[in-house]
Structure 1
Amino acid sequence: MCIWVSASSSYDAFPDISFKEFSAFVNARFSSHIPLSTVLVVLFTVTSNTDLLNLHSRQKNGQSNLGEHSIALTGWIKALVRALTEKLKNDEINFLFKSIERKSIKPEDDEERLEGPIVDAKIAEKLNALTELLNLNPCKQESSYNKPLKQISDIEPAYVVCPAIMHCTTQACRKRSITLDSRDRDAPRVTLIKGSKMHANVHLLKGTCKGCKTIYYADRESFDEDGEKMRFYLNTAKYLKLGQNIWADRTFSSSVVNGTYSFHASSSAYAEFWNDSFWSTQNTSCRKLSRRQVAAAYVQETIRRVAQSSGSQLIIPDNLPIDQVTKQAFENLGENGVIRSAQNHFCSECTHPYKAAADQIIREDPAALLGPDTEMAVENNQNNEQNAQTAPIIDREPLRAEEGSPVKMVVLDEIVMGPTVDNFFTAARFYCVETICAPCGVVIAWKTKAESPTNILNFLERVFPTAELRPNYICIDKACAVLRTAWANGSWDRIWKHTTRFIVDSYHYINHRTTDYLCRTMCNPAPLNGSAPNLVVVEYDNDNNPHYKRAFNTQACEQLNAWIGGFQSVLNKMTPTNFDCNKREEVQQKHKIVKMTMTMKVLKLTVMMLMITLM
């Protein structure tokens, strides 16, 4: 495909008039007390609507040979006036008129908003005169029609990237001033991305505290600690460093994170989208955005979001490569997969008041399930009776101190995903991501490779170490297997017995509930025999007819995994070490051992072939 690029600019330069001319116009047309902000709003309203001015100019200068009449105040300019007055406040509209004009429109003691056809017409006259002053009238004469006005280019300020604090934050320095660390000729010139626009040759400045020798940047602080250079990441930084010579504001970095979450976009896909959408439309000498810079924006933004939400700061060794920054951030902020800010989460979807008895009891079958159900529970009665003799005796409901105390549930599920492995003797994917979330969807904790019942119990014990943190119900697709393992290894009596019950989610329960007595009686997510009144609630429809409803959403993790699965195409291209940074050193060590072993085998084979040749 061939793409043609025009060399002509799609913008017109800002009107070239002197400040003296513009000042004289403002003094003659507006109140002498008009604020500068109001003047600039009026000016930029005119220069930002060149398409409307083209229509206004054409109708204002009608062609008589076409039966047209020249109209001084067209409907176009009056529509622009209405848009302007809606944006301005009451007192700002008053400043658009001289005092003698205001008296002719309304008495001074009348504080109502100036509005109406007369007001619009007078403001339209002022805007029309302003367009003539700025030479924004392409149809000046009936027989001469110039080219239509293009969009007026914005007036850009000179941007500088510098520290956002005014004094040293070290306690011993007692708010000492920060001095410029470099001369102007040595200050780097970088590319700055603000929103969707790139600015070239922006000055990058850093400061130094002469007391503690801390170096201050726009996004971080660098200081010595026991002879080692450390980096302190600023959670409130306005700009973030994405590469050697490129910085971006938080609007851009937030858009990278939001785009990744909303569209499951990879760094390469987002870079291509941004370059095609924004870089290609700018008349700039800046280079295209690379996938590495997008990935850096994602890492830098998420580090600060996680740190800020947890009320902490990230301090790591300085000048680390980006992959090591990710690893250090996880070790310092990840809390081994536990999201502390979500542990005390309560809402109406994941917490309900405790009920000692069911509202209604309509069935006696402990295997009855709220929702689509079959009558297979009566099959295999002999097996069920045998299972009942060996099954542990467990109360269906966890103990509660008093009526009305909150009942809480968490949902746990895994999704198998990760890098694709080409091997005939192992699974194509070997990473299992286990997540714990509330029924409302809030993620509480996560871990890789926690699929076995023993690993799941260890995971749960780490996330909920105390009785106060443990939920009343833990919903897992293999809850019956986890319950048996807990009973066998003693963790049931030691940890879970008095606080928590394990139940199967409603989707998986249908598949394995009929032949397992323990699962049928203890892990039913919504029994209708009244044995677990806190798992089933009664609601009323619009006709006031009662119906049963599950108290909690047991499919919350399945819904989360459906969203996580959208990243599978991105993860396919990852190496195992990039997928799980904690395994990097372990895998690298294994690779060294394998490489040494292969080298020895090749050496032995070479010696053997040499001996055969000599014989």
Structure 2
Amino acid sequence: MLSLNPDDLTAPSPPSSFPAPRIILCTTHISCIFCPPGDSNIIPTLRRQEKPQSVWLLDNACRWVEADLLLAHCISCHADYYPDCVTYRDGGNKRRQRLDMAPQYLRISRHGIWADRRIASLQENALNRFHGGWSNFADWINDSTGARRNLTHRQSQRLFMEHFSRRLLLFHEKDTDFSCGAHPNTHSLSEAVRAAIGVNGGVLGAAMSHGCVDCTHLKRYHSDLIADGVVLGDELNVAGVPPEANTNELPDIPADPAADQLPPLQQQQAAGEGMPRGYTRLAVMDGKTIGCVTHSYLNLKCALDICEGPLVNYKDGRFCDGHSNLRDICGIIPCGRPVRQPGALTCDDLLHIDWQRKYDNRFSWMSFPGVQRVIRRQQADGENSGETGPALRIELGALGETPGNQVVHSFRAKTTYWLQTVHSPQVLAILDRIWAEYPESKPSFIAYDDACSLLRHIVTQDSDSTWLLTTKFIVDAWHYIGHRATDILCRLWCNPAPTNGSQPDLILVAQDDNGSTHQTRAFNTETAEQLNSWLSGFEPQLRQMSDVNYDFFVHVLMMIYAECVQKQVEKKDLGLSEEFWAEATGV
């Protein structure tokens, strides 16, 4: 009757008569991290450098509020302490910067714009759950809040880089040694972080120590299969595949010299009672091409024919970093004169201006059906015989005495047609790089769709390779069915689950409803395909990135995926128990 909740009769709080206090942004340090203790073992304390500076803050409720920024200063070494970093002078008297790895606030613009770290957590969740990039996240924040002040795409990208720079450095255990130039821009920061954790690749240290019941099993022996009542089959058959796929009617194949160099398989004797049993670990490997259509894609590169460098700006850029100075030079090669005005593509030569105008308008008069008709006509006339696919040869007017199709220009970035042609030497180099610092963590088995070719390369090129002593290479079940008919080495050495008991580590024994025992595959060799499927959701974002942003973004995705896998392991209680390690190692 009085609009009171009978379960909660506490007096309501009256509205506050005072405005909410302004948020203060400052460092959490109270003493200098660089200066050694002085007299009486006292570390120099920090001093406020100047009066508070008024800044804008996107708080944890996605509201724009004004806040006060306080900077701290060490009077001994002249280091400056910001809420999210520390700047100092190095031995060469240059200003350097160390990141605070757990700040509450992050600076996202040089013009006094900050964001609460929890906004970055929202951005990370949007990336993981909805595959939303920094541009989409900024639009979502602006649409949701309806505030007059907007989060720009650049600020959202800076928030992404600041947040994930710290996450990646901590994840790769590079946080204590990392430093970069003071107050770097977004590109410089991502470039410095990439240099610390891996350029054109990297290794997740956590993956080397990962273990769960899906990838790590207790060591099994031939005697275990016999004790379980397994009916052994043929060495060429694969456990867990339909019966019609397990046919013994295979064509005769000539002997393979590489197979003769491999030592014969020997059954290990079971460990004695009370002795450590040991364990087996399997890793799955596969390739992934981002932006591919049937394993091929077009990649943008520098506008110069002689250069294969990546673009600095993939949105509307034309040159790589090494040739960026050519932006102010006439795009007609080899003119060499400066452009007539900033942003122009040609000099003030009227012939060059007119030819560029015709080039820009080369499609304006044609509809899409018209383009298709011209392509069909040119193909019928044999004009595109050297092309890999349908192509349109544009007929432009001559420039002076040079025919239109022979004019060399840099009006747009060039494209390169790539194929996924990774060969065994490259794959071996990747494996060597991954396990270079973790030789003791090499897996017992590596599943790869072309493991037979990789094994043949190792045997023929380096028969003393440690890979032959530590790891067996197997082909995943789906590819093996086709390989065994044409490859004798694959038939004998790369079976993912042979039913003859020669590889008991790859076999588990299951019992059906009728009480009959059957052999099943011990490992899921298709896990790499699951990762590839997940990565495909980020393909639109990765396709148009610069090389630095691409590497940084892939590092972020690998970290997020590894953490998601670990959470699933913990949620489903799939971790390796103390009893497992006691039986495996005796400790």
Whole-Å Cα distance in 2 between the matches of residues 400 and 233 of structure 1? 54
Match of 1:303 in 2: 165
Match of 1:102 in 2: none
Asked whether 1:203 is paired with 2:68, we answer yes
Q: Which of 299, 304, 313 in structure 2 is aligned with 1:421?
A: 299
Distance 1:535 1:380, change over 3 A: closer
More moved, 289-298 vs 333-342: 333-342
Report the Cα offset of residue 219 of structure 1. 0.5
Q: What is the 5 A alignment of 1:163-562?
A: 163-173=27-37, 174-184=42-52, 187=53, 189-226=54-91, 227-244=93-110, 245-277=112-144, 279-280=145-146, 282=147, 285=148, 287-313=149-175, 314-334=178-198, 336-357=201-222, 358-360=224-226, 361-373=230-242, 374-375=244-245, 377-383=247-253, 386-387=255-256, 391-396=260-265, 404-418=277-291, 420-421=298-299, 430=418, 451-465=422-436, 467-490=439-462, 492-540=463-511, 546-562=517-533
Whole-Å Cα distance in 2 between the matches of residues 154 and 534 of structure 1? 71
Whole-Å Cα distance in 2 between the matches of residues 378 and 499 of structure 1? 31
Q: For each residue in 1:179-225, what CA deviation from the matched residue of structure 2 results, as whole angstroms up to 9, or x when unmatched?
A: 111124xx2x2221222322332111211001111110011000011
SS of the equivalent of 1:242 reads strand
Give the TM-score normalised by the residue count of structure 1: 0.62
Report the Cα offset of residue 576 of structure 1. 5.2
Whole-Å Cα distance in 1 between the matches of residues 196 and 266 of structure 2? 38
Report the Cα offset of residue 359 of structure 1. 1.5
Q: What is the 5 A alignment of 1:597-612?
A: none
SS of the equivalent of 1:421 reads strand
More helix by share: 1
Whole-Å Cα distance in 2 between the matches of residues 452 and 208 of structure 1? 56
Give the TM-score normalised by the residue count of structure 2: 0.65
8 A contact 2:258–2:456 mirrored in 1: no
Query: Percent sequence identity over matched residues?
Result: 26
Whole-Å Cα distance in 2 between the matches of residues 272 and 153 of structure 1? 35
Distance 1:405 1:327, change over 3 A: same
Whole-Å Cα distance in 2 between the matches of residues 502 and 199 of structure 1? 56
Whole-Å Cα distance in 1 between the matches of residues 87 and 217 of structure 2? 49
Report the Cα offset of residue 164 of structure 1. 1.4
Whole-Å Cα distance in 2 between the matches of residues 540 and 376 of structure 1? 20
Whole-Å Cα distance in 2 between the matches of residues 327 and 171 of structure 1? 29
Q: For each residue in 1:442-498, what CA deviation from the matched residue of structure 2 results, as whole angstroms up to 9, or x when unmatched?
A: xxxxxxx9x3211111111122236422111011111011001111111x4222122
8 A contact 2:442–2:471 mirrored in 1: yes
Report the Cα offset of residue 428 of structure 1. 7.1
Amino acid at match of 1:217: Y
Larger Rg: 1
Whole-Å Cα distance in 2 between the matches of residues 569 and 371 of structure 1? 37
Whole-Å Cα distance in 1 between the matches of residues 258 and 49 of structure 2? 80
Distance 1:153 1:473, change over 3 A: farther
More moved, 535-544 vs 396-405: 396-405
Distance 1:401 1:264, change over 3 A: farther
Q: Which runs of 5+ in 1 are unaligned?
A: 1-58, 61-73, 82-123, 136-151, 433-448, 583-615
Task: Give the count of matched residue pairs.
Answer: 419
Distance 1:230 1:554, change over 3 A: same
Distance 1:541 1:378, change over 3 A: closer
| RMSD (CA atoms) | 3.2
Q: For each residue in 1:381-405, what CA deviation from the matched residue of structure 2 results, as whole angstroms up to 9, or x when unmatched?
A: 322x534896433445798995611
Amino acid at match of 1:203: D
Distance 1:237 1:212, change over 3 A: same
Match of 1:593 in 2: none
Distance 1:581 1:307, change over 3 A: closer
Q: Which runs of 5+ in 2 are unaligned?
A: 292-296, 302-386, 390-414, 554-587
